[in-house]
Amino acid sequence: MQHDHEAYWKEVLGLIRNVLIIWFVVSYGFGILLAPMLNNIHLGGYPLGFWFAQQGSMYIFIALIFGYSKLMGKIDEKHGVQED
Amino acid sequence: MSLQATTYLFVGLSFALYIGIAIYCRAGSTKEFYAAGGAVHPVLNGMATGADWMSAASFISMAGLIANFGYGGALFLMGWTGGYVLLAMLLAPYLRKFGKFTVPQFFGTRYYSKAASTVGVFCLLAASLTYIIGQMTGVGVAFSRFLGVSNSTGIYLGMGIVFCYAVFGGMKGITYTQVAQYCVLILAYTVPAIFISLQLTGNPIPQLGLGSDMAGTSVSLLHKLDMIATDLGFAQYTTHTRISTLNMFVYTVSLMIGTAGLPHVIMRFFTVPTVKDARSSAGWALVFIAILYTTAPAVAAMAKMNLHNTTFNYKIMGNAQAGVEVDHNFDLFAPDSGTLYASRPDWMKRWEVTGLLKFEDKNGDGRIQYYNDKSKNPEFQAKAAAAGWKGNELKVNGDIMVLANPEIALLPNWVIALVAAGGLAAALSTAAGLLLAISSAISHDLLKEKFMPDLTEGQELMAGKISMAVAIVVAGYLGLNPPGFAAGTVAIAFGLAASSIFPALMMGIFSKTMNKQGAIAGMLAGIGITMFYVFAHKGIFFIKSTIFIDSVGGPNFFFGIEPNAFGAIGAVVNFAVAFAVKNMTEPVPADIAQMVMDVRIPKGSKAVDGAH
């Protein structure tokens, strides 16, 4: 049981880390730090950095939560700790 | 039907709906009162969370803030949505598994001490009370603007309505009313936005309209807005940051972790049946929130465009020929460029009455000159002076961007009435969620857990209802007599939640070794340093005469970070102090470490459920 828990928790933390990397890159990276550079590229009428800051990051946040919840379901089942 | 009558009809119908739902969903047990019986469908919980989350400030003020800040306004958009990613992954599922009703309860059990739970209650009450003052004043403002009653009448009315459904329905009543309120507020927000987007860009979807060309031209709306803004001496709309990149970064972090740490939001995730549902429910909440939050920047930019169009004759709306060419020939500094005050549109007259718009003809030419008279561009200032402009003549309150939107776009009365019902729904739903957080902290965490452990289920339910009623009266009183700091309160609530509650919750789940001494010291240090920074700028307990910022290094002395953005720094201090103190004190008991391991796995959520 102890061993299982360690392996399970390691996978969970790995998933959280990956999601947080994307979360950080799209909002703080593209939306803030790199925005001035990305603004040279246009997405329709949007400067790209501005789009990430005021639109894109939010769409990606939604995708991240649903993706996370789906992958967590798989990890739970793999380790047999899902709810009955 | 007159506008007034239509508004009363819409608002009256929406109130009847809320009360009807409340009667249908009365709470019969403490589990229903605190957590809606733990049986709310995740999509419905997401919708309720959306309404709980989106306050009068989100509905009425956010678009105006974005319009003023330009690109920098993104910090609110990202900050208030990115927190849900943290909530979904780091807190919600584990707190659901833990199976208690309140945040202080988690602190008390996880940190095996009543002291931790008391500090938790203190942080929760501090954050929720400051937040609710803002909501109650918002309720008053919404009523007075939409229904033409006085502020205080508005607050009494609001208290009455919330009383009806919160006291009898508890979390159950609040949840289902919030679902209805969400529908009302999102319709009210998006309908005018769709019409305006259609008028300006020909695209009915505001999120796409914002990235489209102006109708009948080949110049994009944002580019045009940038040109107009720079022409008028304002900063360029799509690139203007908030103070500095670092400040914007830190501010966004503060809002994100503050969002994840606000008790009234966290509580909503105790209401879903399973851990799995808690995860997906956070996603649904964000879907429903993002519908408004992605529309807001479009509303902001388009309303700003319309405002400039009204004050200077840029001729954007409904004139297919008015492309770039016209703009190039348009002489901003010609004597007849400003709109004649006497022939201003009706909506301006209407909102002047409320004081949200103020015109002062500084140069006496009878025309409106709306520009940035504090521009640092000497060339622009010279031209403005040569044109005989003597300063900005129009003061615009940002709230107008949403409130007057339907009128600016010449929409029918029913849309204006709908916006009124939506604004009220936003204010009431958030107030109700906060009241529940406050009353459960009092009846459960203080009464049942500390002072009167023998309370029976029925007595505790009664205590919950009574403390809810008292909380409504207190909130109403504070709304009627707002302390001097009312304006800054919502931002402070985020700072408090970010610097105290979020780190303590996270360490409780992700560190098996965090002990009570570390957690308590961390929370106190986090909240302490945040309050210190805020008080230095705004006065001790917001008493202006006690501002001591100059004796500690001047405004924004910490790397140019503004006080509202300081919660993130407080959180860092919290983590650091907690781990330092932990290493100097005795380790956590074995049973607590085991409990943390149990909380981490979803299995057995139903067994934990109800074991409170």
Q: What is the pLDDT of residue B284?
A: 96
Q: What is the pLDDT of residue B606?
A: 66
Same domain, B140 and B245: yes
What pLDDT digit, counting tens, does each position of A40-60 carry? 999 999 999 999 999 999 999
Asked if the structure places residue A37 within a domain, the reply is yes
What pLDDT digit, counting tens, does each position of B541-582 carry? 667 677 777 777 777 877 888 888 899 999 999 999 999 999
Same domain, B20 and B120: yes
Q: What is the pLDDT of residue B504?
A: 95
Domain termination site, one of B408, B428, B460: B408
Question: From the list A36, A55, A83, which residue is nearest B207 (CB)?
Answer: A55
Minimum CA–CA partner of A47 in chain B: B238
* Optimal mutation site among A13, A27, A42, A76, interface B, most CBs of chain B within 10 A: A27
Same domain, B403 and B456: no
Question: From the list B238, B294, B600, which residue is nearest A50 (CB)?
Answer: B238
Same domain, B502 and B393: no
**Residues on chain A touching B66 (C-beta within 8 angstroms):** 54
Is any Cβ of chain A less than 8 angstroms from the Cβ of B272?
no
Q: What is the pLDDT of residue B315?
A: 53
Is any Cβ of chain B less than 8 angstroms from the Cβ of A33?
yes
Is any Cβ of chain B less than 8 angstroms from the Cβ of A24?
no
Q: What is the pLDDT of residue B84?
A: 96
- For residue B310, give its domain range: 304-408
**Residues on chain A touching B297 (C-beta within 8 angstroms):** 54-55
Alpha-helix residue ranges (DSSP H) falling in B481-544: 489-496, 502-510, 516-538
Same domain, B358 and B415: no
**Residues on chain A touching B290 (C-beta within 8 angstroms):** 58-59, 61-62
**Residues on chain B touching A16 (C-beta within 8 angstroms):** 89-90
Q: What is the pLDDT of residue A3?
A: 57
b/e B23-47 (16+ beta carbons within 10 angstroms → b)? eebebeebbbbbbbbbebebbbbbb
Model confidence at B319, in pLDDT bands (50, 70, 90)? very low
Is any Cβ of chain A less than 8 angstroms from the Cβ of B509?
no
Minimum CA–CA partner of A43 in chain B: B211
Mean pLDDT in residue range B358-371: 90
**Residues on chain A touching B287 (C-beta within 8 angstroms):** 62
Same domain, B229 and B375: no
What pLDDT digit, counting tens, does each position of A3-49 carry? 588 999 999 999 999 999 999 999 999 999 999 999 999 999 999 99
Is any Cβ of chain B less than 8 angstroms from the Cβ of A17?
no
pLDDT higher for B87 or B122? B87
Model confidence at B317, in pLDDT bands (50, 70, 90)? very low
Is any Cβ of chain B less than 8 angstroms from the Cβ of A40?
no
pLDDT higher for B247 or B611? B247
Model confidence at B318, in pLDDT bands (50, 70, 90)? very low
Asked if the structure places residue A84 within a domain, the reply is no
Model confidence at B325, in pLDDT bands (50, 70, 90)? very low
Cα distances (angstroms) measured from residue B6 to each of B1, B9, B421, B446: 6, 5, 11, 46
Residue B309 pLDDT more than 80? Answer: yes
Is any Cβ of chain A less than 8 angstroms from the Cβ of B606?
yes
B551: CATH: 1.20.1730.10
Asked if the structure places residue A53 within a domain, the reply is yes
Q: Which residue has 């006496």 as its token pair?
A: B364
Measured between CA atoms, how close is A56 to chain B, in angstroms?
9
Of B25-29, B280-284, B297-301, the one with minimum mean pLDDT is B25-29
Contact B107, B116 (CB under 8 A): yes
Measured between CA atoms, how close is A77 to chain B, in angstroms?
10
Check A46 against B74: CB less than 8 A apart. no
Structure-token pair, residue B316:
């954007």
* Optimal mutation site among B49, B71, B225, interface A, most CBs of chain A within 10 A: B71
- For residue A42, give its domain range: 2-78
Is any Cβ of chain A less than 8 angstroms from the Cβ of B552?
no
Same domain, B399 and B437: no
**Residues on chain A touching B213 (C-beta within 8 angstroms):** 45
Asked if the structure places residue A83 within a domain, the reply is no
> From the CB of residue B14, how many other CB atoms can be counted at a distance below 10 Å?
25
Same domain, B84 and B190: yes
Q: What is the pLDDT of residue B45?
A: 92
Question: From the list B279, B604, B606, which residue is nearest A69 (CB)?
Answer: B279
Mean pLDDT in residue range B195-224: 91
Model confidence at B322, in pLDDT bands (50, 70, 90)? very low
Residue B490 pLDDT more than 80? Answer: no
Q: What is the pLDDT of residue B529?
A: 92
Residue B168 pLDDT more than 90? Answer: no
CA B227 – CA B563 distance, rounded (Å): 32
Q: What is the ipTM for the molecules in this complex?
A: 0.95
Mean pLDDT of chain B: 86
Q: What is the pLDDT of residue B253?
A: 94
Structure-token pair, residue B90:
């780091």
Q: What is the pLDDT of residue B299?
A: 94
Helix (H) or strand (E) holding A22: helix A2-24
Same domain, B205 and B315: no
The residues, ordered by sequence, that sit 6+ positions from B59 with a Cβ below 8 Å of its Cβ are B185, B188, B189, B292, B402, B422, B423, B426, B427
**Residues on chain B touching A20 (C-beta within 8 angstroms):** 85, 89
What pLDDT digit, counting tens, does each position of B413-430 carry? 888 889 989 988 998 899
User: CA nearest B207: which of A74, A46, A47?
Assistant: A46
For chain B, positions 6-35, list CB contacts with chain A under 8 A. Answer: none
Asked if the structure places residue A23 within a domain, the reply is yes
pLDDT higher for B399 or B106? B106
Number of structural domains, chain B?
Answer: 2
Q: Which residues pair with B396 in a beta bridge?
A: B357
Same domain, B459 and B539: yes
**Residues on chain B touching A44 (C-beta within 8 angstroms):** 208, 211-212, 220
Q: What is the pLDDT of residue B99?
A: 82
Domain termination site, one of B391, B408, B425: B408
pLDDT higher for B496 or B210? B210
Q: What is the pLDDT of residue B612?
A: 41
A49-63, B45-59, B98-112, B356-370: which is most confident: A49-63
Q: Which residue has 């009653």 as its token pair?
A: B149
* Optimal mutation site among B45, B78, B246, B292, interface A, most CBs of chain A within 10 A: B78
CA B570 – CA B415 distance, rounded (Å): 43
* Optimal mutation site among B43, B45, B49, B89, interface A, most CBs of chain A within 10 A: B89
CA B497 – CA B124 distance, rounded (Å): 8
**Residues on chain B touching A83 (C-beta within 8 angstroms):** 274-276, 602-606
Helix (H) or strand (E) holding A42: strand A42-43
Model confidence at B324, in pLDDT bands (50, 70, 90)? very low
What pLDDT digit, counting tens, does each position of B58-78 carry? 888 889 889 989 999 999 999
Same domain, B465 and B501: yes
Q: What is the Cα Rg of chain A in Å? A: 17
For chain B, positions 276-315, list CB contacts with chain A under 8 A. Answer: 276, 279-280, 282-283, 286-287, 290, 293-294, 297
Number of structural domains, chain A?
Answer: 1
Measured between CA atoms, how close is B238 to chain A, in angstroms?
6
Residue B464 pLDDT more than 60? Answer: yes
Same domain, B448 and B535: yes
